Amino acid sequence: MRIIPILAVTAALFTAGCVDEMVSDLSVANSATISHTDHKLTTAEQVKIQSGMASYLNTPVVVSGLDASYRLQDGLITVCGYATGGGPQSIFAAHLVGGQFQPVRIPGKGQDPARIAAVRQYCQANNIRI
């Protein structure tokens, strides 16, 4: 019978330590400023991206792996994905501004490792993991 109070005190101490840890994790998470939110592309936006990439590359393309974010500060929609057309698949980044497609011009071509790294970094800065 004396073991039950000892177990209760031990459990209370253990739980108190866990709560403090959880509170500190929440305060760290709440201190970060949210700048972007996920954006689900509409069919019309996907068509704009498809035709915009074809026009930009001046060749028929197929886009895939599209992901987008919405910047809370000004409503800018950033899109990242892959384009295939007339060559190997390439990663790209673009914006939809007023419903119009605007590619992000990052130096390099196609599969250039430095260009791929720069596009990935740009996408990650806009809260897109690709």
Residue ranges covered by each domain of the chain:
1-32, 36-125
Q: Which of 26-30, 40-44, 70-74, 103-107 has the lowest mean pLDDT?
A: 26-30
Per-residue pLDDT tens over the stretch 56-86: 989 999 999 999 999 988 889 999 999 998 7
pTM of the model: 0.71
pLDDT reading at 110 higher than 60: yes
Tell me, rounded to whole angstroms, the distance of Cα 124 from its chain centroid: 6
pLDDT for residue 83: 94
pLDDT reading at 20 higher than 60: no
Sign, Cα dihedral of 94, 45, 100, 49 = positive
How would residue 11 be classed by pLDDT, with cut points 50, 70 and 90? Answer: very low
**CB-neighbour burial class of residue 82 (10 A; exposed 0-12, middle 13-18, buried 19+):** middle
Average pLDDT over residues 39-53: 95
pLDDT for residue 10: 42
**DSSP conformational letter for 52:** H
Q: What amino acid occupies position 22?
A: M
Give the sheet arrangement for strand 100-103, strand by strand: 36-38, 62-71, 77-84, 90-97, 100-103
